[in-house]
Amino acid sequence: MPFREESPGRDPGPSTPLPGRSPVRGFGGSGLLRTRPLAACAALLTVAAGLAVRAGADGAFAKYAGSALYTVLLCALVAFCAPRARPLAVAGTGLVLSWAVEFFQLTGVPAGLSERSAVARLVLGSTFNGPDLFWYAVGAAVVWGVHAGVRGAARPRSVA
């Protein structure tokens, strides 16, 4: 427990933190102060990787790498918005959002929006492509593995 009272006989006002702990829960050591910047950097690196793939490759590799990176970007944004979320929740949310956008393409609305806006084309795509569903799962699996590894490495180890 990160907080304790000073003495049982008087009202100390706000709880005082334990030594070495920040008074704001979750903002110590490997907490929110590191999660959001890491998620923001991951999002920027993902966009850079997507642009590099788009500029340097073509064909099936570029298409499906872009699909996987789309999910990676969504996962980075989820981690930024919900820094305490567990790796499986981050990856699962990114995957569900990716699938939702892909199935939304079946309505034809994204195609109409994509004709008018380059941003809509980048965010929503235009046409449904079944194999993308698999590659979104690949991107989510990579995020889950990396996020779980980073989170595990950041955990303090107890000395026995």
Query: HEC states along the chain?
Result: CCEECCCCCCCCCCCEECCCCCCCCCCCCCCHHHHHHHHHHHHHHHHHHHHHHHHHCCHHHHHHHHHHHHHHHHHHHHHHHCCCCCHHHHHHHHHHHHHHHHHHHHHCHHHHHHHHCHHHHHHHCCCCCHHHHHHHHHHHHHHHHHHHHHHHHHCCCCCC
Report the predicted TM-score, pTM, of the whole model to 2 decimal places: 0.76
**Domain assignment of residue 39, yes or no:** yes
Quick: pLDDT tens for 32-42: 668 899 999 99
Cβ-based neighbours of 66, under 8 Å, separated by 6 or more: 50, 53, 54
Question: pLDDT tens digit string along 59-79?
Answer: 999 999 999 999 999 999 999
- Under a CB-based contact definition with an 8 Å cutoff, are residues 91 and 75 in contact? yes
Confirm whether 26 is domain-assigned.
no
Measured CA distances, 81 to 5, 38, 123, 144 (Å): 32, 12, 18, 16
- Is 28 part of a structural domain of the chain? no
Q: Is the dihedral of CA 92, 143, 65, 46 positive or negative?
A: positive
In a domain? residue 2: no
Domain annotation covers residue 75: yes
More confident residue, 34 or 96: 96
Range of the domain at 55: 35-153
Q: pLDDT grade, residue 124 (50/70/90)? A: very high
Q: Is residue 10 part of a domain?
A: no
CA 38, CA 44: separation in Å to the nearest integer?
10
Q: How many residues does the chain have?
A: 160
CB of 121 within 8 A of CB of 55? no
Task: Report the pLDDT value the prediction gives residue 160, as an integer from 0 to 100.
Answer: 62
* Count of domains for the chain: 1
Tell whether 13 is covered by a domain.
no
18 located within any domain:
no
| Confidence band, pLDDT 50/70/90 cuts, at residue 52 | very high
